[in-house]
Amino acid sequence: MNVDGKHYRTVWLEGRELALINQPLLPHRFEIVRMPSYRETAAAITTMITRGAGAIGATGALGMVQAVLEAPERGFHDFIADAATTMRATRPTAQNLFYGINQVLRAVESCGDDIGAAREAARHAGQEVADDDAACCEAIGQHGLAVVPDGARVSTHCNAGWLAFVDWGSALSPIYAAHRAGRKVHVWVDETRPRSQGARLTAWELGQEGVSHAVIADNAAGHMMRTGQVDLVIVGSDRIAINGDVANKIGTYTSALAAKANGIPFYVAAPTTTIDPDCDHGDDIPIEVRDHDEVRWTWGWSDEGRFMRVRTTPDGSPGHNPAFDVTPAELVAGIITERGIVPASRAGLEPVARR
């Protein structure tokens, strides 16, 4: 996707350094940061310098490439195993992270004790994860065109655009494809508290692409649906159980319930790497609980031109901060993948799931 007319990916490898878009600074400042080692890359995932299912997956894979390149010849495989443990612990919910890590590990293991071959195989596998993510998301856009007619008013939640993947995005990819095909599309952007990925990231992306949109409070989505101002909902996902239950940013379940109550189709867009074939049910998906200060404080741009943090709660009030929720399969009209739109069911997902 383009930023001020220049194409960027969300993450890429430069030699042994990993380059990332510093997402907490958006939309106020666009900055590229570089992580010189796998440990710093892991910290960037934990602190959400990079975030989003596909972006985490590619960052995890390329972070493992860094680990393979850093590993000493003595204790080579032990170093890589420790790095994989560190990388897996960064975010527990996103399936793409584990997929990306495993792809690099498989490439290394296939080389046995040939360390030179293992380093080269790891680099190739990591880049392949990133390239595959971008290609899948572009294909999701083309398949998703079928559900985004001219004049569509689309509701979305959180950020599942190109910033959340390597390029194109999942939930926003059909919107970008429709816009570039000349269709009129308007997007209602949930702000997505507590980190405001919708207000900060999705709105910024749509503005860069020139797509009509408006930011609404999280608790306004149901009103917009009930009053006939929404034609369909498209969201992303961080993990999809094999029965079709979907984990996504907290608040997605509420949006799905409102859509069901008002007869509005609720679609999930995700590459097949987001499907977890070993997870039978949504209740088995681990839900990350983040620092409660994310609920108690918020970041923003002051009238004086300072990017600053302010507390929005009473000093003594604690917070609770589950980062994701699970939407049951029966609320999902279909899952838009790079292989087409499939039912949110075991029969629909098993043929396309990847390990």
Q: Which CATH number does the domain 142-349 belong to among 3.30.70.20, 3.40.50.620, 3.40.50.10470, 3.30.450.20?
A: 3.40.50.10470
Catalytic residues: 238
State residue 125's pLDDT score.
98
State residue 2's pLDDT score.
86
State residue 5's pLDDT score.
86
Name residue 340's beta-bridge partners: 337
Q: What is the pLDDT of residues 212-270, one digit of tens each?
A: 999 999 999 999 999 999 999 999 999 999 999 999 999 999 999 999 999 999 999 99
State residue 320's pLDDT score.
98
pLDDT range class, residue 4, cuts 50, 70, 90: confident
CA dihedral 323, 264, 346, 52 (to 10 degrees): -30
pLDDT range class, residue 84, cuts 50, 70, 90: very high
Length of the chain: 355
> Residue 270 contacts by C-beta under 8 Å, 6 or more apart in sequence?
53, 140, 170, 236, 237, 240, 335, 336, 337
pLDDT range class, residue 128, cuts 50, 70, 90: very high
Q: Pairing state of beta strands 212-216 and 275-276?
A: unpaired
Nearest to 232 by CA among 310, 144, 319: 144
State residue 288's pLDDT score.
97
State residue 298's pLDDT score.
93
CA dihedral 250, 252, 258, 259 (to 10 degrees): 180
- Indicate whether 92 pLDDT > 90: yes
Nearest to 35 by CA among 113, 106, 46, 317: 46
* Topology match between the domains 2-138 and 142-349: no
pLDDT range class, residue 198, cuts 50, 70, 90: very high
**Dist. CA 93–CA 329, nearest whole Å:** 18
- Indicate whether 1 pLDDT > 90: no
Question: What's this model's pTM, rounded to 2 decimal places?
Answer: 0.96
pLDDT range class, residue 71, cuts 50, 70, 90: very high
Q: Give me 207's structure tokens.
A: 């503005």
Round the average pLDDT of the chain to a whole number and report it: 97
Cα angle for residues 269, 274, 279 (degrees, 5° grid): 120
Looking at domain 2-138, does it have CATH number 1.10.10.10?
no
Q: Pairing state of beta strands 2-3 and 239-241?
A: unpaired
Q: Residue ranges of the domains in the chain? A: 2-138, 142-349
State residue 164's pLDDT score.
98
Q: Pairing state of beta strands 32-35 and 17-21?
A: antiparallel
Q: What is the pLDDT of residues 11-40, one digit of tens each?
A: 999 999 999 999 999 999 999 999 999 999
Place of tokens 């838009």: 336
Cα angle for residues 122, 164, 40 (degrees, 5° grid): 50
pLDDT range class, residue 307, cuts 50, 70, 90: confident
**Dist. CA 33–CA 314, nearest whole Å:** 35
Percent above pLDDT 90 for the chain: 96
Average pLDDT, stretch 303-322?
Answer: 94
